[in-house]
Structures are given as structure tokens and as C-alpha cells.
Amino acid sequence: MVFFAGSTDVAVIGAGHAGIEAALAAARLGCETVLFTINLDCVGNMPCNPSIGGTAKGHLVREIDALGGEMGKAADATMLQSRMLNRGRGPAVHSLRAQIDRRAYQQHMKFLLEREPRVQLRQAEIVSLDRDSDEWVLTTRLEEQFRCKAVILATGTFLRGKIFVGDVSYDGGPDGMFAATGLNDSLEALGVRLRRFKTGTPARVLRSSIDFARLEEQPGDEPVVPFSFETTEALQNKCPCHITWTNGETKRVILDNLHRSPLYGGKIEGVGPRYCPSIEDKIVRFADKERHQVFIEPCGEFTDEMYLQGLSSSLPVDVQTSLLRTIEGLEEVQVMRPAYAIEYDCCDPLQLDSTLEFLDLSGLYGAGQFNGSSGYEEAAAQGLIAGINAARRILGKSALRLDRASSYIGTLIDDLVTKGCTDPYRMMTSRSEYRLILRQDNADERLTPIGREMGLVDDERYAHFCARQEQKQAERRRLTDTVLAPSEELNALLTSCGTSPVQTGVKLLELLKRPQLSYEALAPVDKTRPPLDPLVIEQVETELKYEGYIHRQQAMIDEMRRLENRLLPAEMDYYAIGGLRKEAQEKLTRVRPRSIGQASRISGVSPADVSVLILATGGERT
């Protein structure tokens, strides 16, 4: 007999990284929110790599923080080691990455949710989802029933999850949890198109069984750069990571046992991640490569469990042990948790609007791996947007839509809902055509005013943001107004830095534009420099050195937004428009783009088709 357990505004199904941000955002915007999880001990779990950030992913974390989300603050609070990736390249691709104490992160997030006034954290598996008039009805496996106004699906890899290790396969979720096996039937009955994706994770091994003397140490960066714009205390690296490599013997063990891999034996039907393949997949796909890098990373400060990044696998346990022991430093390694692959159901994101609400199911939202993406950071970004929009819908406010020029979050969502994905989507800097403007250092400048408008940035934080912006503008004026006279000291410094001396007075602004010079290099001759926030220094220097490129990208953005502001009717009959190619008609009907700009990014819609659309519709303006 079904028991009515209560009503709420927003129900979030899944308490991973997407679900956490969704629930916190909805609650902080004034909505009573219930967050469901199969097991309270897996709130904010990191079933794969215990790290936050990385190339492009670090940008997402900074943007989540700038909008008022929690991932960046939690990462700073539980960091073991921090590194800035791609320092040898331009500032557009500098990306922060931190190794995280996974249990401390879980505890941090769970405690935060428990103390959030409008969040009810509930251990329960949702097995059915139905529509009753303008409400959603959720039923748990224990026959409790909840009613709500909006639902956010953040099921991660749990939905009809299936584990594969060699010849063994069974229903299950990540980290030994059980799978969610009932909800998929309800979703298909509602008309949600589901498909199977696959991901995997490496073995965890015992620290004392590793010969670290034979490994290359990888220390963290000093000083540590925090993820959150609100983190003011100095952070410390607590432990190093290490590097080793596979070799010819590793390759031989894998190839000799490839027939025992469910990936190559046809047992796995799900599509795996293109940019994070298993070790057996790497050996096959890159047959000419002699070795592959392996990063040995700690799982926590108070555990001897170590993570082997780069060795994801679904091979049998005996083969896993054999291949690991061919690797330098791992000859006597003890496996604590074997590697596994996991298949799961997710939706086709072409069914979603850019608000992450289903086009044909009002009040139902998707977020994270349920939408076909991979990665904690991609999940958290989508959860934040889904939570904001679910709350704003209930409160009768306009939806938040981030475009490609505003953020990596906007790029991520636009890629999913406009282009779709045929394998788990991973954010990369190359996916953004505006990456010089969408740097991680200026995420607060781009998005904190939006977070403030949404209601997720409080007065104190906004005051700090405004003070930093005022300091930046004052510094730009000082650099413009300060003229250095030619002197022996100045010219000696310029020559030592590999740049030409000056014969007349020169503005500090012009000197700083020179590629050989920096704030640090100019310090001896910059006598009037006031104390500056390091972030202000980074932003001002980058904007001056890349000024011409930034202006060029801004012109591209202006043109893109001109097309984004030409809206298309939601119920347009594209088959009735003469001149559109058949493929374009099919794709436009399926995606139902909101604007001419979005239509132009759909795979299969040509520039000629876009011209036909503009002529046929006049592009209704906002």
C-alpha cells in the first residue's frame, strides 16, 4: 500500500555532484527541496578519480563558484594537492586541478546539505515517476509517495547500472552500490528517449605495496591557487603524486587476454568515453605507442588507498593483477578494489531546452551524466543551472540561459542540447570558440553579476567582487597615467629581460604589453604600485598582452549574439519551408532550436539552410 509522505516544490533524484548543486540552488532560491539518494553514504561520491578540475574542467569549477555554487569551496576545503595545468601555454588554457580527499569531500557536502534549511536529504530509491495534472508524483521502493512541482533527474551511472569485470557481470552501481532499476520504465512511458553509455574506473591499490623509489614524484604548485573566489586563507599541499609508465610486457599481457575483455567480447553494449578510454582500448587504438603514462594519486589523507589514473579496465581480476605487476614500481602491488566498467541509461539531450528542462515535459529537468556528459565538473555545472531554472519556474520568474560567449557552462549545455552526443561528453578548451575571453581567471567578472541577479551571491560576496573590480579599473588608469622616464636602471632592466631599451618616456601600460615583461619583472622600476589582489594582476596583464585578440573575439561574439536574438517560433513547421534540405528539416524538427543562432550550430544544417530560415521567417526578434 502506497504511503503519502508529503509535498514539496522540487525533488532531485540523485545526490552526486549534479544533484548537490541542483538541490542547494533550488533551496537557496526559496524552494522546499527533497534530495533523494540510494545511499546517504554516497552523497558527493567520487567513484572514479578523486580530483576536481583539469583542462577546461577547472574553468567549469570557477564558473560554478562565480555563480554561487559550492564545488569550488568544497574542493579548497578538502584539497590534498593542487597544480595549474598548461602553464607553458597561453592563459586561455590554464586550468586548475586539485587532488581531493574523497571522504572528506563527501562529509563536507553531506554536512552542508543537512544544514541547508530548505533541503530534506532522504535515503530512498525512486522507482516510478508520473504526471498528475500540474504535479509530479514520485514513488519509492518502500512505497512512499511524494508530490512536487518540478523534478531534476541527476541519476549519474545508477540508472539500470550494470558492472563488468571480465566474464562477470551483474546489476550494480558504482563503488559497490546497487543500481536504480525501476525508474527507467517510467521515463520511457513518459516518452523520454534513453540510450546506453559506459564508463569505467581503475583499480585501487595499497600504498605500502608500491615502490615509490622507482617512481617520478609530481609535487604540487606553490603557492596554491584556490578554486573559489571566496577562499582567502592560504592553502597547503599535503602530499605528492607520482608517475610511472606501462611497457612492452604490459602490452603483451593485455593483448594475450584481450578475448577475456567484455569490451572486445561483445558483452558491453554501451558507448564508452572517447577521451578517457580503458587501458585495453588504448593498447588496441594506439598500437604503435610503446608506453602509456600512469599517475599514482592518493584517495585521501587518512587512507593508504591509491588511485591509478590511466589504467581504467574491465579485464578479469587475475589479468588486472598481472598487468599491474609489469609496471615499474608496481611489481609487488596489492589490489584493494579491482577495476570495473559500468553501463547505465541516460537520455538523448536533444530532448532538452537550454534551461535543461525537457521540451515536451514541463517541470522535468535533466542534469549531469543523465544528460550524456561525463565528469564531476560537467555534472555540477548542469545541476546548478537545472536547480536555478526549476526554482525560477516555480517562482514565476524567467529562466536563466547562458550562451556560448558567457561561459564554458553555456558552451557545455549548448553542445548537448544543440549537437547532442554519441558518447559521454567531456568538456575541453577546444570546444569553445571564445576561449581567450572565457578564461578561468575572469569567471567572476563574467558570471558573479548573474549569480547576484539570480539570488545566489550574497551582499558580502558581492561587495568583495565590486571592490576587486574597482581595484582593477584603478590599476588600468594608473598604468595609463604613469610614464617612466628613460634611465640607466630602466634600460638595464629592459635589456636583461630581452627587450629593447627606451629613449623617451614610456607608459607602464605600453611596457606591460611587451611579451618579455611582466608585473613581476617591472616591480623594481614601478615605484608607485599599490598592493594589488593577485587576481587583479593576472587579469590586467592578460588583457593588455592579448588586447587585439580579445577585441577580435568580442566582434565574433557580437555577431553570434545578433543571431541568438533572432528567435524562431517554438512550433514552427520546418517541412513547410521551401528551400530547406530534407536533412535540415529533420534536424530542425528534432532539435527545435530557439533561435537562428542555435539553428546554425545544428549538425546537418548548412549556411544555405540558415539563409533560407532568415528569409522565410524574418527571425522574430527578442
Contacts of 135 (CB under 8 A, 6+ apart): 7, 147, 148, 149
Task: Give the mean pLDDT of 265-282.
Answer: 80
Dihedral sign for Cα atoms in the order 366, 369, 373, 375: positive
In the predicted structure, residue 265 carries a pLDDT above the cut 80: no
Examine residue 531 and say whether the peptide bond preceding it is cis (omega within 30 degrees of 0). no
Poorest-pLDDT segment among 120-124, 274-278, 512-516: 274-278
- In 3D, which of 349, 435, 424 has the Cα closest to residue 386? 349
Domain coordinates in residue numbering, the chain: 3-198+344-454, 204-340, 459-548, 565-621
Give the Cα separation of 155 and 15 in Å (integer): 8
pLDDT tens digits, one per residue of 535-585? 999 999 999 999 999 999 999 999 888 888 888 988 889 998 988 999 999
**pLDDT attached to residue 277:** 84
Contacts of 48 (CB under 8 A, 6+ apart): 174, 199, 201
**pLDDT attached to residue 571:** 85
The three three-digit cell numbers of residue 113, written as one number:
546539505
Q: In CATH, which of 1.10.10.10, 1.10.10.1800, 3.40.470.10, 3.40.640.10 is domain 459-548? A: 1.10.10.1800
The distance from CA 120 to its chain's CA centroid, rounded to whole angstroms, is 25
pLDDT tens digits, one per residue of 283-333? 998 989 999 999 999 999 999 999 999 999 999 999 999 999 999 999 999
Beta strands across the sheet bearing 335-337? 216-218, 241-245, 293-298, 305-309, 204-206, 335-337
Task: Give the mean pLDDT of 211-238.
Answer: 95
Task: Give the mean pLDDT of 137-142.
Answer: 96
In the predicted structure, residue 49 carries a pLDDT above the cut 70: yes
**pLDDT attached to residue 321:** 97
What is the per-residue DSSP string for 348-411?
A: -GGGB-TTSBBTTSTTEEE-GGGGTB-SHHHHHHHHHHHHHHHHHHHTT-PPP---TTT-HHHH
Contacts of 611 (CB under 8 A, 6+ apart): none
Task: Give the mean pLDDT of 135-161.
Answer: 96
Q: What is the value of pTM for the model shown? A: 0.95
In the predicted structure, residue 621 carries a pLDDT above the cut 60: no
Amino acid type, 483: V
In the predicted structure, residue 195 carries a pLDDT above the cut 80: yes
The three three-digit cell numbers of residue 599, written as one number:
539553428
Mean pLDDT value across the chain: 94
Q: In CATH, which of 3.30.930.10, 2.60.120.20, 2.40.30.260, 1.10.540.10 is domain 204-340? A: 2.40.30.260
**pLDDT attached to residue 173:** 94
178's enclosing H/E stretch is none
**pLDDT attached to residue 367:** 98
In the predicted structure, residue 620 carries a pLDDT above the cut 70: no
pLDDT tens digits, one per residue of 19-47? 999 999 999 999 999 999 999 999 999 99
Q: 3-198+344-454 — its CATH code?
A: 3.50.50.60
Give the Cα separation of 365 and 417 in Å (integer): 12
**pLDDT attached to residue 415:** 96
What pLDDT band is residue 617 in, cutting at 50, 70 and 90?
Answer: confident
Q: In CATH, which of 3.20.20.140, 1.10.150.570, 3.30.429.10, 3.40.30.10 is domain 565-621? A: 1.10.150.570
In the predicted structure, residue 276 carries a pLDDT above the cut 80: no
- In 3D, which of 364, 368, 357 has the Cα closest to residue 409? 368
What pLDDT band is residue 404 in, cutting at 50, 70 and 90?
Answer: very high
Q: Write down the residue that cell numbers 565574433 correspond to.
A: 556
Poorest-pLDDT segment among 89-103, 129-143, 208-222, 255-269: 255-269
Residue 475 burial (10 A CB sphere; 0-12, 13-18, 19+):
buried
**pLDDT attached to residue 570:** 82
pLDDT tens digits, one per residue of 332-360? 999 999 999 999 999 999 999 999 999 99
pLDDT tens digits, one per residue of 466-487? 999 999 999 999 999 999 999 9
Q: 3-state class of 551 per DSSP?
A: helix
The three three-digit cell numbers of residue 534, written as one number:
593577485
**pLDDT attached to residue 319:** 96
**pLDDT attached to residue 622:** 42
- In 3D, which of 70, 66, 68 has the Cα closest to residue 44? 70
Q: CB atoms < 10 A from the CB of 290, how many?
A: 10
Q: What percent of the chain has pLDDT over 70?
A: 99
Poorest-pLDDT segment among 239-243, 247-251, 260-264, 595-599: 260-264
